[in-house]
Amino acid sequence: MKTLEIKLPDEIFGVLSTIAKQKDKFVVEAIKEKIEREKKNSLLVEGYQATFQEDSALAKEFEAADFENL
């Protein structure tokens, strides 16, 4: 395990002090959650980029149908 020294704004430290009895565990869990969100977001972006051409082709194919009953 590694040690990391961080500086927190007074406001954040105050809130952290009131809601977390074990600040270290709280911060580690928050970092883990943030890492997981970033991984999921990255996968979503990758998926959107991978299907962009197919989605664009489908949209173009149905473009005429969108304006049929106007």
Q: What span, in angstroms and rounded, lies between the C-alpha atoms of 27 and 68?
A: 56
- Residue 69: its pLDDT value, please? 67
Give the integer Cα–Cα distance in Å for 52 and 68.
25
Domain ranges of the chain: 19-66
Distance CA 39, CA 25 (A): 21
Q: What is the pLDDT of residues 43-52, one digit of tens each?
A: 999 998 889 9
Q: Which residue has the higher pLDDT, 43 or 65?
A: 43
Q: What is the pLDDT of residues 21-37, one digit of tens each?
A: 999 999 999 999 999 99
